[in-house]
Amino acid sequence: MLVGSRVIAIALLSTALLQPGAGFADARNNVLTIGLATEPFTLYPAMGVGGTDYPYLYSLFARLLTFDPKSLEPRPGLAESWEFSPDKRALKLKLRENLTFQDGTTLDAEAVKASLMNFKEHGRVQDLEVVEAIDVIDPRTLVVKLDRPYSPMTAILADRAGMIISSTALKAAGKDFDRKPIGAGPFMIKNWTSGSNMELVRFPNYYDKDSIKLSGIVFKFIANAPSLASAALSGQVDYAFGLDPKNLPALKANPRLRVAIEPSLSLNQIGIHLGYPPMDNVLVRRAVSMSIDREALRDVILGKDVGEGPTANMVPPTQAFKSSPQFPASIKYDPAKAKQLLAEAGFPNGITLKICASNGGVGTGTDVTDIEREQMRPAGITLDVVVMNSSACLQAYNLRREFQLWQGGWSGRPHRFMTYSQYFGTNGQYNKAKTRFPGVDEALEKIAATDDPEQQESLFADLDRIWVEQMPVAPLFWRPNFSAYSSQIAGETPNAQGKPDPTSIYFIANEKKK
């Protein structure tokens, strides 16, 4: 009898331990476990540039403005209202009442000013370079003065620059602020173990606390794609983001998971270093672009007909451009024409181009360059591929000019203007050679000076056309997000930008109990 009881006890214990989610997914404590492939380098918004940081940043920081998930139109955040001056050179913001940071200090107009000026002075992304001054009118009101008409400022304040940090905490923490930031977002950092996980706990005084159902979030860093898929399949995580699409069939077959292919402004690209000859020659750049079969590449990397398809533009093109004959011509695989362009550029016998690739993500490594190499061969282009880790690759490409090309991605921005100005403007952050493209700076100025959608659309159509003529970068295909959610959770709100905000998610069972 005793033996039989022991056997039953062992069987029950084993069954309990083998339940999906045992050990990590913790619906009873209302803590969501999320699996992601990338760990942030820093949690200090001004110091980071990674598009994959946003799930962490949205959880920790409240922004001055947010955006509608579908249209990306600005919505209230910490600022309950805003108003541009008629000349678009001043933006007045009215903050909500009784705002506090996670350390209990007051979040008022002075604190917002300090945060914005800190980003302007120290931010690695130059989104606030147009800010001339900030006037504090009263504790809830401030005016951001701009050195030129700049209607995209609302989109910028819905992005990194608008993530308000406690400057008091920044001064006190110094370098530790990277790992222990203080913001005003729905969650606060509890613990961060590099290479393993990050734990967040609920901030009880968040301005919109009623919309937050979770008690905490645990981010698990799972860089290896099969391991991330396995974690979702076994229930070790409730939500897996950034899955490799190769594993979707196995995930879809699991009845405990909901698989979603979510919209995104992300794309895969071949970066082109305009300062490294012969990439300063537009004929060579267009030859590179024409020698890639984007559709075949997309079919292999993502799956047949997955996502919005091939693209030669960095932003979703305007309807006017999509309807023009230039659009299909821009994505057409034409190695014969590419060879002809190379001959016109002075390379009748072909050319060898050095490209840096990193096997850290989907479509940024040899999974793509192996295919591109064969596709480009008929055009006379030989790819000399070097594989490094992604930060070493970027340094070698951006800072040391060791490569003419870079196999990478782009995570997108909430406003088309931001992408075009950063890549296409003469002083754009990613226009390392400060190349002046005809008509571009003028078009950008006009877009910034108006918020009339029709005027902007017409100007963007011009930029779309100039882009494919000049090809400063060779975008390849749009890359949607591949996510898997446990059937125990709901409430996710994927946004068109493709940078998920997990804070709206909740456990169905816990909500039903209330």
Partner 1 sequence: MGNRFRIGFHLAVAFLTLLAFVVVFGPALAPYDPLAQNLRNPFGPPTWVNWLGTDNLGRDVLTRLMIGARPALTGVLIAVGTAALVGVPWGLTAGYIGGLLDNILMRIADALLVFPGLILALVLTAVFGPSLKTSMIAIGFVYSPILARVVRSGVLVVRNRDYVVVTRLYGLSGWHRMWQHVLPNAAAPIIVQITLLMGLSLLAQIGLGFLGVGLQPPNPSWGGALAESFPYIIVSPQASIVPGVVVVLTVLSLYRVGDELRDRFTRE
Ramachandran angles phi, psi of 156, nearest 5°: -65, -40
462 binds partner 1 (CB under 8 A): no
Binding mask 407-426 for partner 1 (x = CB under 8 A): --------------------
Least spacing, CB of residue 374 vs partner 1, in Å: 5
The answer to whether residue 226 forms part of the interface with partner 1 (CB under 8 A) is: yes
For position 229 contacting partner 1 by CB under 8 A, the verdict is: yes
Burial string for 203-241 (b: 16+ CB within 10 Å, else e) reads beebbeeeebbbbbbbbbbbeebeebbbbbbbbbbbbbb
- Could you tell me the smallest distance in angstroms from the CB atom of residue 387 to partner 1? 6
Among the listed residues 262, 240, 216, the one whose alpha carbon sits nearest the alpha carbon of residue 59: 216
Least distance to partner 1, CB of residue 252, Å: 10
Residue with tokens 């990193």: 358
Least Å distance, CB 386 to partner 1, is: 8
**Which span (94-102, 145-153, 359-367, 424-432) binds partner 1, by CB under 8 A?**
359-367
Largest alpha-carbon pair distance within the chain? 91
Out of 117, 250, 345, 508, which residue is the one contacting partner 1 (CB under 8 A)?
250
Residue 511 interacting with partner 1 (CB under 8 A): no
CA-based nearest residue to 219, from 26, 20, 52, 56 = 56
**Nearer to partner 1 by C-beta: 350 or 439?**
350
CB 362 within 8 Å of CB 301: yes
Residue nearer to partner 1 on the CB measure, 143 or 296: 296
User: Among residues 201, 260, 296, 490, which is the contact residue for partner 1, using CB under 8 A?
Assistant: 296
Going by C-beta distance under 8 Å and a sequence separation of 6 or more, which residues neighbour residue 414?
A: 67, 72, 155, 158, 159, 497
- Cβ contacts of residue 90 below 8 Å, gap of 6+? 84, 143, 144, 145, 146
Say whether residue 344 binds partner 1 (CB under 8 A): no
Shorter beta-carbon distance to partner 1: residue 367 or 501? 367
Q: Which span sits near partner 1 by CB under 8 A: 105-113, 118-126, 132-140, 242-250?
A: 242-250
Cβ closest to partner 1, residue 388 vs residue 471: 388
CB of 233 to partner 1, least distance (A): 8
**Which residue carries 């992601």 as its tokens?**
36
d(CA 408, CA 368): 10
Pick from 199, 233, 237, 236: which is nearest to 217 by CA? 199
Binding mask 363-392 for partner 1 (x = CB under 8 A): ---xx-xxx-xx----------x-x-----
For residue 168, the tally of other CB atoms under 10 A from its CB is: 15
Positions in the binding site for partner 1 (CB under 8 A) = 225-226, 229-230, 233, 244, 246-247, 249-250, 296, 299-300, 359, 366-367, 369-371, 373-374, 385, 387
